[in-house]
A and B are shown apart, each in its own frame.
Chain A
């Protein structure tokens, strides 16, 4: 599905990712944890193709293709989805219209038939219902005046409707209350599929109680410094990241975690 090798990324001339390697197989869920400023969102942005994130070395292959040659919209059409840590508002643009236009752009590019307004609204209402999201949000401007939790739900709604092959969820749990966390996680779990992979960026182990990952990684200072199973997340929750810093090499950390 996704193969990142020795990825180096600079932003404004400053190196943020420093030789990151990560492989995600179809159907897998990978959790990425790590201290503030480690480069987690940078990873999401690079995958989605944001301007200004310059890849200086390394490679990313997505479904066998060189991801780095594709524009952001081509990546979306190829099946990549980023749920933003801070979704941006687009004043005056109807949320349902936005999402339907996006869906149909993707469908058209893939040679699939477009969904008409009625068909779309039915789908959107159904998915919004699953996420316990107020229908009214569909008729408001994209993320405009949405609460933090509403924005996060809206991201997951988009994911549910666009049905990507690989989804990167950047701190989708931050800002959600306990009930919302459960509901959104259920929404995400419904989308679990042997053909769909996810990278879940989070600071909190409790999300991983709901969305159980296959692998947990620790990203620190631009590299994956530890990988393990769910117990790694629990250890981090208890002990923080300090013990990782104390270990000298990533491989040592790996051993510690397992």
Chain B
């Protein structure tokens, strides 16, 4: 990517801090079996799915929120959350962009995501999720030609029930953890992708999420299946308007890669982080997991986490197939009073499985940033290999960086390497940049971007540009 391109997009960086007042059709706060049945009915779901949700709900009732992360989580009253909200006229969803509420399109424009333009110019199919319901899906024809299914989760439940039924909950079961169980019970929508055997998805698939209605938890559900020998790159991006309430977000993403298939999943996450005093911001408790079911399957997670007041997130890989591989590339930035406890789990089960973890944590202000990673090697995983590199960068004196690597190996032929560094942003580097005429903020952004380069290189181009811009915006006021 050329510097000119980067700069052009940085210049047109997002403007944050506005709320769109599309009337929401919302259930009253609270959660019980009736609410779940209501959601399921709204979505016109088959009976088995309703039952599946209820099973998850019953698990959830007996579970407690995880307390092992290095996070200060204010008590969340799950009965004060409203579990369903949708734009009006849910029944007649627009079939093309022309039919989309212009006000919504305007919102996307403000966010710097001109949907139609972006789709046309970049050739990206966009499944935009707005307030839990998909309102625009493009490039369907092009995808249909090669047999790729890319639609909202609710649509898939109706049109491809056999696929949904076969794979839903196989990677993240209903009883997996507190937040995943909650998601299973109340998820409203999300994306579904199926790439048929031997197909290389002709474009990057992209979804923009946005939280909007006040006090509504957002529960996305994403299921991606790459059949034998197929390939897909999936982009998830998030932005949110300025607001005061803390909002819970508990998504679940399941990836399934069969023999020789490859899935690359990239996230640039920019939810509202709260203000400079730690007021407000999104609570992000996400369960993301990929299953390399087939031999030689590959799954790669790349994430750039700059938003949210609290991030609890461990995109993981189960390396079941022989010679399968998993990757995790992460940049997590915490500024002001943001907290992040993030990392990955690489579970080596097959022979000759490989995993690679590159984590870059940046803390500024009073931010607290923890890397938590588990590398587990099963007794049959002969010659499993892992390489982990975990670097932390501190900006200022009040922030914190923590590293919690866990290694469990039951196979003596496994080789697990771990490297970790922690450094402060160098006064000498800053001075060097400034002595060449760069102001302090530009200098910091430049040094931090350099620190993250290995991860940014893994992102699709337009995402890399966005990530750089985001980092710059997120670091405003970090020094001085």
Contacts and interface: CB of A to CB of B under 8 A. Distances in A.
Most chain B CB inside 10 Å of its own CB: which residue of A98, A103, A109, A162: A98
Given A90-B450, A92-B454, A76 B435 contact: yes
B424 interface: no
B431 A93 contact: no
B432 A92 contact: no
B412 interface: no
A241 interface: no
Given A101-B446, A105-B437, A109-B437, A90 B4 contact: no
Given A90-B450, A92-B450, A141-B450, A106 B431 contact: no
B3 A94 contact: yes
A90 B429 contact: yes
B411 interface: no
Contacts of A49: 434-435
Given A90-B432, A100-B3, A117-B4, A76 B450 contact: no
A222 interface: no
Interface in A104-147: 105-106, 109, 116-117, 141-142
Most chain A CB inside 10 Å of its own CB: which residue of B437, B442, B447: B437
Nearest to A83: B435
A92 B453 contact: yes
Contact-size category for A: 35 or more
A82 interface: yes
Contacts of B434: 49, 71-73, 76
A97 B4 CA distance: 10
B447 A93 contact: yes
Nearest to B447: A90
B323 to A, nearest CB: 31
A9 B331 CA distance: 41
Given A88-B429, A94-B3, A117-B4, A73 B449 contact: no
A253 interface: no
5 contacts: A50-B431, A84-B432, A93-B446, A116-B4, A142-B450
Given A90-B433, A92-B452, A101 B438 contact: yes
A29 to B, nearest CB: 21
Given A51-B427, A87-B432, A98 B446 contact: yes
A91 to B, nearest CB: 6
Contacts of B446: 90, 93, 98, 101
Most chain A CB inside 10 Å of its own CB: which residue of B427, B429, B434, B436: B436
A105 B439 contact: yes
Given A90-B447, A98-B433, A101-B442, 11 more contacts: A48-B431, A49-B435, A72-B431, A73-B435, A76-B437, A82-B435, A87-B432, A90-B433, A92-B451, A93-B446, A102-B433
A105 B438 contact: yes
A213 B258 CA distance: 72
Most chain B CB inside 10 Å of its own CB: which residue of A96, A97, A158: A97
B437 A106 contact: yes
Nearest to A103: B437
B428 interface: yes
Contacts of B4: 116-117
B173 interface: no
B426 interface: yes
Given A92-B450, A117-B4, A141-B450, A162 B437 contact: yes
B425 to A, nearest CB: 11
A224 B450 CA distance: 41
A102 B431 contact: no
A77 interface: yes
A75 B433 CA distance: 12
